[in-house]
Amino acid sequence: MHLDFQQCKNYYDSLKLIKIIHKFVFRSDDWQYKYKAKDQAKRNYYNLHQGPNMTCQEYFEKVRNVGEVIKSLGGSLCDDLNLKNELPNIPNVKYTDQM
């Protein structure tokens, strides 16, 4: 049993528990699994939805927890965006970072 498990249990700290599990499951030198885990966490984020019986606070907690997992894996929700390549090529139109 991990030393911090009892503290997580007493304070209902699910994020810290996820971090503990992450340390046991994913070694820091195992990049292949780290990238797969980051992709899976992003997939989980994009598949989140608020059910009919879920309060706004519960939904917010779910979104925040998945975001923290992504951040703990070294990713972010906007690191994959390369919008300049996705925009249509229109002559005489220059895209900037502000657009």
Domain boundary assignment for the chain: 30-75
Residues above pLDDT 70, as percent of the chain: 68
DSSP 3-state of 82: coil
- pLDDT, one tens digit per residue, over 56-99 is 999 999 999 888 888 888 877 765 555 556 666 667 766 565 44
Q: How far apart are CA 29 and CA 98, in angstroms?
A: 38
Asked if 66 contacts 48 with a C-beta cutoff of 8 angstroms, the reply is: yes
pTM of the model: 0.48
Please report, for residues 65, 72, 88, 91, the alpha-carbon distance to residue 42 in angstroms, rounded to integers and kept in the order given: 12, 12, 26, 35
Class of residue 38 by CB neighbours under 10 A (exposed 0-12, middle 13-18, buried 19+): buried
How many other CB atoms sit within 10 Å of the CB of residue 69?
A: 21
Asked if 73 contacts 34 with a C-beta cutoff of 8 angstroms, the reply is: yes
Asked if 66 contacts 45 with a C-beta cutoff of 8 angstroms, the reply is: yes
